[in-house]
Structure 1
Amino acid sequence: MTAPFRFPRFFVTSPAPCPYLPGREERKVFTELNGEHADELNEALSRIGFRRSQGVAYRPSCAGCTACVSVRIVTEGFRPNGTQRRLLRRHADLDVTACQPWATTEQFDLLSRYLGKRHPGGGMTAMDESDYADMVELSPVQSVIVEYREPMGPNGERGRLVGACLTDRQGDGLSMVYSFYETEDDSRPGLGNFIILDHILRARATQLPYVYLGYWVKGSPRMAYKTRYQPLEALGPRGWAPLSDETPADTTPPPMDRL
């Protein structure tokens, strides 16, 4: 094990408005992921609450606030409820393919529609196609773009792209870095939830125990959907422990000396 992996350099961002809780500020601690041990470092950091964005791993480090909680689904114990079973049946006709992390105009157009509908005014809406290509292609770890397409046409034409997810494959699971999907098609409701369900099934089929969902913030309506996937584990000072939407989690993150 080399020194760059064992002793990464960490930096802290300047405070910025919190996107989840009004009136609060967010700050992040981050480090670069590069070199031959980038995969190992990314996996070690993910186990203590970090997320990847291109060649950077980060986690919240906000003064006086620990509301952001890392969560992951335990794939072996997951059993879909009635609504989730209906979604699996409704979208069972989709052609799902794990592609190499190569950005396409079709993906970018779908992302632009998604951001304009779900996150208008958010920071990502300023992305151009080159920025999107960087997000997908500048990955120092094992990544794929999982595409969700409608069935092939009668003349063999490729089906319409209705969803996509940039996904990292780790030794203990799949990490959903960013997903986006068609939001204005009434014939395809619940695509975001279906993409999560598909990742659970994919992880289970390859005997990976977890699907990492990023951060959950209790009290944030945007994050409430994550507790629908049980069993769900949350990361606290004593490690990973079961979490439900009724659980008052101790959200103080574990120290970084657990690398």
Structure 2
Amino acid sequence: MSSPSPAGRQLQLYISTPQACDYLTDRQSQNIFISPDVTVTPSIYEYLISIGFRRSGQHTYRPHCPSCRACISSRVDVQTFNASKSQRRVLTKNKDLSVSSVQSIFSTEHYELYCRYQAFKHPGGSMESFGENEYEEFLCQSFGNSLMFETRLGEKLLAVSVTDIFGDALSAVYTFFDPEYSARSLGTFSILQQIKATQNRGKRHLYLGYYIKNSVKMAYKTNFMPLEMLIEGKWRRYTKDDELPDQSASLDSPITF
């Protein structure tokens, strides 16, 4: 199985074995992966993310389920984004916080915050049991184009957002925060800060990952309108007045490898 890159290069792909879906009950999921033998540069990955791929550490994947297309790639056009009233309230509520970027490297302070977040947000999940090495592979390893945005109250670390930087976009990889400060809506605040960082860098899009209409975990992305979604291989724009899709492509779509 292979796919052409922008230069016509064939990238070797592998498909995973079926497993229980993390987002939709009673469904099986599969992913296709770029071969680990392929050197994925930031420019190659920027192309891959534009056609629906994501990464976990240095593993690049895309959902490829035989009977389901519920995972839809999504991104925000930051040049047309306007914060909603509730989002402006989140910004006002958190005016006492500072945000800065640091290198994407292992930090004990980050790891301890990650562990508290997983125990609160995803108890019993596979990522709750990550040791330091697994955490580092998941969030500190990239294709050489990542930053970590730290949110602090004074000296206290409240949230970390792992973010990839591309030529014309940023990509939100993963955010974790202190559960004791959940009332501050730190998840929403972190996305708003990544949108701001994208705007400040003069770039066009912030990639948010997969939207799944029937998954509470993934549906929050529609709070950041207008939202662009990858449907039938083309990016389409949706506003709050539009009926949102629940499928990304038919089984025989050209986007399927």
**Given the two structures, how large is their TM-score scaled by the length of structure 2?**
0.89
Q: Distance in 2 between matches of 1:34 and 1:179?
A: 28
Give the structure 2 partner of residue 156 of structure 1.
Answer: none
Helix, strand or coil for the counterpart of 1:139? Answer: coil
Q: Map 1:222-233 onto structure 2 (within 5 A).
A: 222-233=217-228
Give the structure 1 partner of residue 150 of structure 2.
Answer: 147
Q: Distance in 2 between matches of 1:109 and 1:256?
A: 40
Residue of 192, 206, 213 corresponding to 1:218 = 213
Q: Distance in 2 between matches of 1:87 and 1:3?
A: 40
Give the structure 2 partner of residue 166 of structure 1.
Answer: 162
Give the structure 2 partner of residue 18 of structure 1.
Answer: 21
Give the structure 2 partner of residue 120 of structure 1.
Answer: 123
Q: 1:250, CA displacement in angstroms?
A: 4.8
Q: Deviations over 1:9-49 (max 9, x none)?
A: 10001101001111001100011467765112111110000
Give the structure 2 partner of residue 181 of structure 1.
Answer: 177
Does the CA-based 8 Å contact 1:149-1:160 persist in structure 2?
Answer: yes
Residue 191 (str. 1) matches residue 186 (str. 2): yes
The residue identity in structure 1 corresponding to 2:160 is: A
Q: Distance in 1 between matches of 2:32 and 2:9?
A: 17
Residue 103 (str. 1) matches residue 100 (str. 2): no
**Given the two structures, how large is their TM-score scaled by the length of structure 1?**
0.89
Does the CA-based 8 Å contact 1:73-1:212 persist in structure 2?
Answer: yes
Does the CA-based 8 Å contact 2:72-2:247 persist in structure 1?
Answer: no
Question: 1:131 and 1:106, CA in 2 relative to 1: closer, same or farther beyond 3 A?
Answer: same
Q: Distance in 1 between matches of 2:23 and 2:246?
A: 17
Q: Which runs of 5+ in 1 are unaligned?
A: 152-158
Does the CA-based 8 Å contact 2:163-2:171 persist in structure 1?
Answer: yes
Q: Distance in 2 between matches of 1:172 and 1:3?
A: 16
Helix, strand or coil for the counterpart of 2:11? Answer: coil
Q: Distance in 2 between matches of 1:174 and 1:11?
A: 26
Question: 1:121 and 1:255, CA in 2 relative to 1: closer, same or farther beyond 3 A?
Answer: farther
Structure 1 segments of 4 or more deviating over 6 A? 2-5, 33-36
Residue 89 (str. 1) matches residue 89 (str. 2): no
State how many pairs are aligned: 250
The residue identity in structure 1 corresponding to 2:211 is: W
Does the CA-based 8 Å contact 1:237-1:250 persist in structure 2?
Answer: no
Q: Distance in 2 between matches of 1:50 and 1:215?
A: 9
Q: 1:182, CA displacement in angstroms?
A: 1.2
Does the CA-based 8 Å contact 1:149-1:161 persist in structure 2?
Answer: yes
Does the CA-based 8 Å contact 1:146-1:164 persist in structure 2?
Answer: yes
Question: 1:92 and 1:105, CA in 2 relative to 1: closer, same or farther beyond 3 A?
Answer: same
Q: Distance in 1 between matches of 2:144 and 2:216?
A: 31
The residue identity in structure 1 corresponding to 2:244 is: T
Q: 1:118, CA displacement in angstroms?
A: 0.8
Residue 64 (str. 1) matches residue 32 (str. 2): no
Give the structure 1 partner of residue 141 of structure 2.
Answer: 138
Residue of 199, 202, 206 corresponding to 1:204 = 199
Q: Which runs of 5+ in 2 are unaligned?
A: none
Q: Deviations over 1:84-103 (max 9, x none)?
A: 01111111222211111111
Q: 1:3, CA displacement in angstroms?
A: 11
